[in-house]
Amino acid sequence: MGKTPGKTLLDKPAVAPKPPEFNFSQRADSKQPQLPVRNMALKQHSILPGFGLTMGFTLFYLSLIVLIPLAGLLLKSATISWDQFYAAVTDPQVVASYKITFGASLVAASVNAVFGLAVAWVLVRYSFPGKNVIDAMVDLPFAMPTAVSGIALTALYAPNGWIGRWLDPLGIEVAYTQLGIMVALTFIGLPFVVRTLQPALEDLDVEIEEAAASLGATRLQTFVRVIFPAIMPALLTGFALAFARALGEYGSVVFISGNLPMKTQIVPLLIMTKLEQYNYAEAAAIAVVALGASFAVLLFINIMQWWSRRYAAA
């Protein structure tokens, strides 16, 4: 879309993208009445170039890398009949892996909701030596490759590991049990709750707390009745994000879980096992169900964010 700037100004009686104070296009527009049709256009006019090029490339690359492969997954799972599909996704071993994945993700997200709230609160409200370093370290599970986290956690919680050797005499086994899956999923979900809660806590108006205090509320009452409702949407969003991430997690779990069918086999591991048996259709069917679950959680998160924005606006 190579146009000279002068020509663009004369040729295009454009509707400005949003009405700024500095609106040169209105001058060109003012002679002729604005056509209502223009608001129905797919794209509003702009004097900036490159829309066709960048949009074209975006759509092409998006289709090539993301959309076509994902469509291929749906098509593959459609190559088997509905009965076969149903049999594949309701096989006892598969159902057991759903339960393990869901249960462990739920426990991990809950642990993170409780301790993440404490961490976010401490990082926002208090000051203590080393706070900035600790704040930066919260992102470690994002930055650390999952395979590294996986073998590190396994080494820690194995019966002779730094933590495992204290739990072993108590009869608590972590590595190669469901507890180990929960530990790994807690690790990878930790930043989500903290990082969603931090801005929400920072945005809290201290005056409301002062008002609560001056009306005779104790600190605990202020927290339960004033602060907690205000940060509730952020807490739920963080919880759901940690949960969504845990549902699909593979690398950090594969080493610590032990991969025992019906006991410690999570859904991604089961898909991997099916792939290794060249059972592509069943792998695709299970993947479609898992993908559906992730999208449902994503939808929930979007609704939650809409709610929290409305809450902030009210």
Partner 1 sequence: MVGTATIKRTENVRCRAAAATTESRWVRWLLIGVSLTFLGLFLAMPLAAVFAQAFSRGWAMYVRSLGDSDALSAIRLTLLVALIAVPVNTVFGVAAAWAIAKFQFFGKSVLITLIDLPYSVSPVISGLVLVLLFGRQGWLGPWLEARGIHVVFAVSGIVLATLFVTFPFVARELIPLMQAQGTEEEEAARLLGASGWQTFRRVTLPNIKWGLLYGVILCNARAMGEFGAVSVVSGHIRGETNTMPLHVEVLYNEYNTTAAFAVASLLALLALVTLVLKSVLQWKTGEQLAPEEQGYTGD
Residues 152-181 touching partner 1, rule: CB under 8 A, are 152-153, 155-156, 161-163
Report residue 76: phi and psi, to 5°: -60, -45
Contact segment (CB under 8 A) with partner 1 among 28-36, 88-96, 166-174, 194-202 equals: 194-202
Angle at the Cα of 222 from the Cα atoms of 219 and 223, rounded to 5 degrees: 90
Contact yes or no for 283/80 (Cβ under 8 A): no
Q: How far is the CB of 59 from partner 1 (least distance, A)?
A: 8
Q: How many CB atoms lie within 10 A of CB 110?
A: 16
Query: Which of 37/206 has CB closer to partner 1?
Result: 206
Q: How far is the CB of 2 from partner 1 (least distance, A)?
A: 7
Site for partner 1 in 234-253 (CB under 8 A): 237, 241, 244-245, 247-251
Cα-based distances in Å from 300 to 36, 87, 312: 36, 28, 18
Q: How far is the CB of 120 from partner 1 (least distance, A)?
A: 9
Residues in the chain: 314
CA atoms within 13 A on the CB side of 240: 19
Size of interface with partner 1, in residues (CB under 8 A): 116
- Token pair recorded at residue 18: 């949003």
Site for partner 1 in 70-109 (CB under 8 A): 70, 72-73, 75-76
Residue among 247, 236, 212, 310 at smallest CA distance from 102: 247
Site for partner 1 in 131-150 (CB under 8 A): 132, 134, 136-149
Query: Which of 232/275 has CB closer to partner 1?
Result: 275
Under rule CB under 8 A, residue 47 binds partner 1: yes
Residue among 134, 152, 154 at smallest CA distance from 144: 152
Contact yes or no for 267/286 (Cβ under 8 A): yes
Under rule CB under 8 A, residue 22 binds partner 1: yes
Q: How far is the CB of 47 from partner 1 (least distance, A)?
A: 5
Among 27, 199, 224, 311, which residue interacts with partner 1 (rule: CB under 8 A)?
Answer: 199
Contact segment (CB under 8 A) with partner 1 among 27-35, 82-90, 168-176, 208-216 equals: 208-216
Q: How far is the CB of 85 from partner 1 (least distance, A)?
A: 15
Contact yes or no for 73/287 (Cβ under 8 A): yes
Among 104, 235, 283, 285, which residue interacts with partner 1 (rule: CB under 8 A)?
Answer: 283
Q: How far is the CB of 146 from partner 1 (least distance, A)?
A: 5
Phi-psi region of 100 (alpha: psi -120 to 50; beta: other; left: phi over 0): alpha
Q: How far is the CB of 212 from partner 1 (least distance, A)?
A: 9
Among 85, 98, 176, 187, which residue interacts with partner 1 (rule: CB under 8 A)?
Answer: 187
Contact yes or no for 113/239 (Cβ under 8 A): yes
